[in-house]
Amino acid sequence: MNKSALYKGCLEPIIIQLLKDNGRMYGYQITQKARELTKGHLDITEGALYPLLHRLEEEGILETEIESAGNRMRKYYSLTKAGKKQSVQSFNELQSFLENLSLIFQPKTA
Amino acid sequence: MLSDEQIQELYAYCKRKSISYYDIQVEIVDHMANAIEEKMQTNESLTFKQALELVHFSFGNLGLREIVEAKTTTMRKKYRKMRKRLFYTYFTFPKILLAIMILLSVITVDRFLSEPYLIANIILIGLIAAIQFLRVERDKSKLRRTQHEKLLMTDPQFFDFSFYYLVFILQILTSLFKKPFDLLAGEELRSNIQIYGIVVIMILYIINSLVKIEMLNEVQKEAKNKYPSAFAN
């Protein structure tokens, strides 16, 4: 089965969690951090990452700052107050999703 | 670290790939530059051009287009919400007084004065609407003039909305139901409905223009704040 398809539905909570743990981050940094934490298993494509970041920004979950990084501009994302609240909710939802999945996939003991 | 020329080459690359909006280019260029730098560090024999090709492969033409399309959809949703929010404020006190006053002026003139006064009154409202149209155009061209980089967030497509179609709907409805209207309410009332209908549409047009002006100002302020380098000093 396609691995990225499995991660696709969880991309939003993953990004929110990464921003919660690391403060502000820029797009490329998010993809690298996700790859590093999952030991190369999670490869977030640009076509999936940026539309999601832009949507979360317009929904008021993320805020942005644009700064100069040497000879280029860099856009940083961080959680807004509403985003921090959302991070608790999305963490709980993901937690219950994982529990439900384990009910289906864990080896039956009885 | 990539040189200034190489960064400019990445901007040119974005333009070649039909990414003409600066607010998207900024992010793509930084992302590609990071990816290229990493590839060149891992494999020191790679040239900038070769690394760009590898990075382009990972993005793909579709990937770039998807980013623009998704952002356009997001912005459209955002501006639709903004438009609704601003529009509804004109139906709350004290702004609602503007619409009531215009409508009352027409009803009063229609009731108590002769026809030439009514026509003059409607022409006056038409003039206010025309002035609003000119104000919107002035603000749009001001935005175009001050920006030296094209931004998706200030793209004219998000500010082209109006109520012209309502005039046609009113015309079609009143002519389609001319006979039943005349039978039920009389010819005079039908023509009154037409006149008042047109006035209501003009009021909506004026409100719509005021909303556009507010939106343009709000968006321009946000754009200047986020992308000062896209604006002329």
For B54-95, what is each residue's pLDDT tens digit? 888 777 667 788 889 999 999 999 999 999 999 999 999 888
Distance from CA of B198 to the nearest CA of A (A): 37
Note whether ipTM > 0.85 here.
Answer: yes
Which of A32, A54, A57, A59 is the mutation pick for testing B, counting most B CBs within 10 A? A54
pLDDT category, A108, cuts 50, 70, 90? low
CA proximity to B229, closest of B8, B26, B48: B26
State the Cα–Cα distance between residues A64 and B155, nearest whole angstrom.
Answer: 20
Helix (H) or strand (E) holding A75: strand A72-79
Minimum Cα–Cα distance from A69: chain B residue = B30
Domain that holds residue B37: 4-73
Residues B155 and B202 in one domain: yes
Judged by DSSP in three states, A15 sits in helix
Residues B57 and B152 in one domain: no
Domain contains B81: no
| Rg over CA atoms, chain B | 26
For chain A, the farthest-separated pair of C-alpha atoms sits apart, in whole angstroms, at 63
Domain contains B78: no
A40 Cβ under 8 Å from any chain B Cβ: no
Which residues, listed in sequence order, are joined to residue A26 by a DSSP beta bridge? A76
pLDDT, one tens digit per residue, over A22-44 is 999 999 999 999 999 999 888 88
Average model confidence (pLDDT) for chain A? 89
At position B128, the amino acid (one-letter code) is: I
At position A82, the amino acid (one-letter code) is: A
Is the distance from CB of B151 to CB of A66 less than 8 angstroms?
no
Q: Please indicate whether, in this complex, the C-beta atoms of A50 and B227 are within 8 angstroms of each other.
A: no
A60 Cβ under 8 Å from any chain B Cβ: no
State the Cα–Cα distance between residues A106 and B3, nearest whole angstrom.
Answer: 53
Contact residues, chain B, for A51 at CB < 8 Å: 66-67, 70-71, 74
Contact residues, chain B, for A28 at CB < 8 Å: 30-31, 34-35
Which residues, listed in sequence order, are joined to residue A64 by a DSSP beta bridge? A77
Contact residues, chain A, for B227 at CB < 8 Å: 66
Instruction: Read off φ and ψ for residue A69, nearest 5 degrees.
Output: -120, 85
Domain that holds residue A25: 3-105
pLDDT category, A109, cuts 50, 70, 90? low
Minimum Cα–Cα distance from A74: chain B residue = B30
pLDDT category, B26, cuts 50, 70, 90? very high
Residues B116 and B37 in one domain: no
Which among A28, A47, A71 has the least Cβ separation from residue B7? A71
Domain contains B82: no
Q: Please indicate whether, in this complex, the C-beta atoms of B70 and A58 are within 8 angstroms of each other.
A: no
pLDDT, one tens digit per residue, over A83-96 is 999 888 888 888 89
Minimum Cα–Cα distance from B224: chain A residue = A66
Residue B127 has pLDDT above 60, yes or no: yes
Minimum Cα–Cα distance from A77: chain B residue = B27
pLDDT of residue B9: 95
Residues B113 and B61 in one domain: no
| Rg over CA atoms, chain A | 16
CA proximity to B210, closest of B104, B146, B129: B129
Please state the rounded mean pLDDT for residues B189-194.
74
Residue with tokens 């604006």: B231
State the Cα–Cα distance between residues A97 and A101, nearest whole angstrom.
Answer: 6
Domain contains A55: yes
Residues B42 and B109 in one domain: no
Task: Work out how many domains chain A is built from and give that number.
Answer: 1
CA proximity to B208, closest of B152, B141, B128, B153: B128
Domain contains A57: yes
Residues B45 and B19 in one domain: yes
Task: Work out how many domains chain B is built from and give that number.
Answer: 2
Q: How many CB atoms lie within 10 A of CB B70?
A: 18
Q: Which long-range contacts (CB under 8 A, 24 or more apart) does B158-164 make?
A: B158/B75, B158/B76, B158/B79, B158/B219, B159/B79, B159/B212, B159/B215, B159/B216, B161/B83, B161/B208, B161/B212, B162/B205, B162/B208, B163/B201, B163/B204, B163/B205, B163/B208
Domain contains B83: no
Residues B221 and B174 in one domain: yes
Domain contains A27: yes
Please state the rounded mean pLDDT for residues B209-222.
94
A64 Cβ under 8 Å from any chain B Cβ: yes
Residues B128 and B224 in one domain: yes
Domain contains B80: no
Which among B31, B62, B75 has the least Cβ separation from residue A28? B31
Residues B172 and B218 in one domain: yes
A28 Cβ under 8 Å from any chain B Cβ: yes
Residues B99 and B207 in one domain: yes
The residue out of B12, B40, B73 marking a domain boundary is B73
Domain contains A42: yes
Which residues, listed in sequence order, are joined to residue A74 by a DSSP beta bridge? A67
Residues B106 and B163 in one domain: yes
Average model confidence (pLDDT) for chain B? 88
Domain contains B98: yes
pLDDT of residue A1: 59
State the Cα–Cα distance between residues B118 and A78, nearest whole angstrom.
Answer: 58
Domain contains A110: no
Residue A36: give its domain's CATH number: 1.10.10.10
pLDDT of residue B72: 95
Minimum Cα–Cα distance from B77: chain A residue = A58
State the Cα–Cα distance between residues B101 and B106, nearest whole angstrom.
Answer: 9
